[in-house]
A and B are shown apart, each in its own frame.
Chain A
Amino acid sequence: MPDADAVTPPRAVAYTGPMAPSDPDVRLMLRYRDGDATAFDTLYSRHKDGLYRYLLRLCLDAATAEDLFQEAWGKLIAARHRYRPTARFSTYLYRVAHNCFVDHYRRQRSRGREEDADAVALTARDGDPGRETERALARARLEGLLAALPPEQRDAFLLREEGGLSVAEIAEATGVGAETAKSRLRYAYRKLREGFAPLAEDSGGRDDG
């Protein structure tokens, strides 16, 4: 059940081009930059859930996701004086979060403690289905499929689904070309679709039988 301040998330907001004057989030961020703390509350409410899930599924670890979530918002707060609306706010926010994740990933790699995505995926798939509800089973299946995606494809998928970013915006947020972003997104949807298909058949069989 949504809480009182859970303002409608910004999914599927149309990209309106550079400066994006019609983006309400840009206006909120400009108000916050100029000292209006209530504008941040609204902005935060609109984006917190999506950004949290983005990091959660990117990291595959709740504690790390919380750390990066805090780091991303902290950077946004600290850099508010330098904020200039050159793109949609969500592109800016997810780019900051993406950078936080990349930095974290590099730190982990340099320490030799690289996350084992495969292990996480197996954990998600090897839950005890007999005691799960159908919904929980579907969630576990989804988690497994997502975790099994290559990180770049998972990133593109989550930027689309949680941030509502377009292909062009995903390219901008991740620092790659539009064709690369498009390709990653296409593969991610295709693999997930293929993974969902057996589940849908199973569900159909149960419903019919």
Chain B
Amino acid sequence: MADTGQDHGKDRTDHDTAAVIDETVSRAYRDLARERPPEALDERLRAQARRASSVRPWQRPLAVAATLALAVALVLQVATPPDGERPAPLRESVPRSPAGDSVPDEAALPAYALQPDRGDAGQAVSELGRASRKAAQSLAGNGAAVASAHCTDHVEDTEAWLACIAELEAAGEQAAAERERRAWTARHGPEPDPAD
């Protein structure tokens, strides 16, 4: 078998190796062992490597921004009660009934007052939440959000979680992968070297 261009053909620094190998067996093995990985697998791995390396250093701040936006959106979503949960407050501009009841007649109310109302503050928070969610989705991508939800299924299984992160990265969802990686590190400490 040919060498790689260096001074090969023997293990100068490892006489132990030369002492135990059997050249007859080696030749026979090399003559017969010629299998190769399927081309489709080749292409898949090359593409995965290209996608992974397409993340440039300047993209990292963008990924952080996307992560933050997504986090804010999630917090707001949790903090904002669902529509219709709170009763609509009375408006001063709404005419009271002649009997002086505190509950107005629906027919006398303007249309907007009949809509479930969360108040000005709630509405502002809701609007901000929607805007944040939209920004987060445009930055991180819907796929990342879905895959991220999938990754959270594996928080107890370190290997499965890492595999999920690798899937995100392979799918080009770098922001989501980065976020998951930070979450993994926060929970389990530094990520292990695959060679360890």
Binding site for B on A (CB under 8 A): 8-17, 22, 24, 32, 35-37, 40-41, 44, 46, 48-49, 52-53, 56-57, 66, 69-70, 73-80, 82, 92, 95-96, 99, 103, 135, 138-139, 142, 160-162, 166-168, 178, 182, 185-186, 189-190, 192-193, 196
Inter-subunit contact A161/B49 (CB<8 Å): no
State A76–B45 Cα separation when bound (angstroms): 11
CB-contact partner of A53 in B8, B16, B35, under 8 A:
B35
Residue of A nearest to B166 (CB): A78
Given known A-B contacts A96-B194, A96-B195, A186 and B20 have beta carbons under 8 A apart: yes
Inter-subunit contact A182/B3 (CB<8 Å): no
Inter-subunit contact B195/A99 (CB<8 Å): yes
Tell me which residues from 36 to 69 in chain B have a Cβ below 8 Å from any Cβ of chain A. Answer: 36-38, 41-42, 44-46, 48-50, 52-54, 56
Give the interface residue-count category, chain B.
Answer: 35 or more
Inter-subunit contact B14/A166 (CB<8 Å): yes
Any A CB within 8 A of the CB of B138:
no
State A11–B30 Cα separation when bound (angstroms): 10
**Chain A residues whose C-beta falls within 8 Å of the C-beta of B36 in the assembled complex:** 48-49, 52
State A178–B16 Cα separation when bound (angstroms): 9
Q: Which of B7, B37, B56, B191 has the most CB of A within 10 A?
A: B37
Stretch of B21-29, B75-83, B100-108, B113-121 on the interface side: B21-29
**Chain B residues whose C-beta falls within 8 Å of the C-beta of A99 in the assembled complex:** 194-196
State A52–B194 Cα separation when bound (angstroms): 18
Any A CB within 8 A of the CB of B93:
no
**Chain A residues whose C-beta falls within 8 Å of the C-beta of B53 in the assembled complex:** 32, 35-37, 40, 80
**Chain A residues whose C-beta falls within 8 Å of the C-beta of B28 in the assembled complex:** 138, 142, 196
**Chain B residues whose C-beta falls within 8 Å of the C-beta of A142 in the assembled complex:** 28-29, 32-33
Q: Can you report 12 A-B residue pairs in the complex whose CB atoms are below 8 A from each other? A: A8-B2, A13-B3, A13-B6, A14-B10, A14-B12, A48-B42, A75-B166, A79-B191, A99-B194, A139-B32, A166-B16, A185-B17
Identify whether the interface residues of A are mostly helix, strand, loop, or mixed: helix
**Chain B residues whose C-beta falls within 8 Å of the C-beta of A74 in the assembled complex:** 45, 48, 166, 170
Any A CB within 8 A of the CB of B1:
yes
Query: Smallest distance from the beta carbon of B136 to chain A beta carbons, Å?
Result: 24
Inter-subunit contact A79/B193 (CB<8 Å): yes
Binding site for A on B (CB under 8 A): 1-14, 16-17, 20-22, 24-26, 28-30, 32-33, 35-38, 41-42, 44-46, 48-50, 52-54, 56, 159, 162, 165-166, 169-170, 191, 193-196
Residue of A nearest to B55 (CB): A35
State A168–B18 Cα separation when bound (angstroms): 12
CB-contact partner of A167 in B20, B26, B48, B56, under 8 A:
B20
CB-contact partner of A49 in B3, B37, B165, B196, under 8 A:
B37
Inter-subunit contact B22/A193 (CB<8 Å): yes
Inter-subunit contact B30/A12 (CB<8 Å): no
**Chain A residues whose C-beta falls within 8 Å of the C-beta of B3 in the assembled complex:** 8, 11-13
Residue of B nearest to A191 (CB): B25
**Chain B residues whose C-beta falls within 8 Å of the C-beta of A95 in the assembled complex:** 195
State A82–B14 Cα separation when bound (angstroms): 29
Inter-subunit contact B20/A70 (CB<8 Å): no
Residue of B nearest to A91 (CB): B195
Residue of B nearest to A75 (CB): B194
Query: Smallest distance from the beta carbon of A201 to chain B beta carbons, Å?
Result: 13
Residue of B nearest to A43 (CB): B49
**Chain A residues whose C-beta falls within 8 Å of the C-beta of B195 in the assembled complex:** 92, 95-96, 99
**Chain B residues whose C-beta falls within 8 Å of the C-beta of A10 in the assembled complex:** 4
Given known A-B contacts A52-B37, A135-B32, A78 and B24 have beta carbons under 8 A apart: no
CB-contact partner of B29 in A36, A92, A161, under 8 A:
A161
